[in-house]
Amino acid sequence: MSIESVLSAPALLIRNFEKNDLEAVTSLMRELNYPTTLNVMRERMEAMNDNPLYGNLIAEVNGVVVGMIMLRQVKSFTMTEPVTQITSVIVTSSCRGQGIGKRLIRGAETWGRQHGSHLLFLTSGNREELAPAHAFYEHIGFEKAGYQFSKKL
């Protein structure tokens, strides 16, 4: 590897969400077909940023937001210690397969440990188009452990 390729390698930064990330986060949500608007995302992100039980990490390459992971600390009477839930993880399609998702998960692990969690978990749908995401989760050490049931109220 030449010194030129090292010097020109993209710099990946995992950091906390900032208010000026709002448009990029909204765009990422839309990329995964989550219908939302800038105002709706502003309200959601402000509410989460003001709550210490939520964490929102951003993946940035050379100053451009290319991914995010949203976290929530969960306390339950069934567990003695809190656990951390990944509520969403998104890497823009043009940057998948470059290790960004793995780095976001590592950031989530660190955030969870810092908040007293002993377990990191996520739920996902069973749609066919999610198969690559499920394979990714298992590849980086997640274990499939059941089903998710939901009911509209």
83-134 pLDDT, tens digit each: 999 999 999 989 988 999 999 999 999 999 999 999 999 888 788 887 888 8
Q: Per the domain annotation, does 146 fall within a domain? A: no
- 58 located within any domain: yes
What's the N-to-C CA distance of the chain in angstroms?
Answer: 57
Give the CATH number, domain containing residue 69. Answer: 3.40.630.30
- The model's pLDDT over 2-44, given as tens digits with 9 standing for 90+, comes to 445 445 556 899 999 999 999 999 999 888 888 888 899 999 8
Residue 39: CB partners within 8 Å, gap ≥ 6?
none
Range of the domain at 89: 3-139
Domain assignment of residue 78, yes or no: yes
Joined tokens for residue 60: 């940035």
Q: Is residue 15 part of a domain?
A: yes
Q: How far apart are the C-alpha atoms of 134 and 126, rounded to whole Å?
A: 9
The residue count for the chain: 153
Rounded Cα distance between 65 and 10, Å, is 13
Q: Does residue 149 belong to any structural domain of this protein?
A: no
CA distance 117 to 104: 17
Q: Is residue 68 part of a domain?
A: yes
pTM for this predicted structure: 0.84
Total number of domains constituting the chain: 1
Residue 80 lies in a domain: yes
Q: Is residue 85 part of a domain?
A: yes
Q: List for the chain the helix, strand, coil content (%; round to 5).
A: 40, 25, 35
- Please report which helix (H) or strand (E) contains residue 57, including its range: strand 54-61
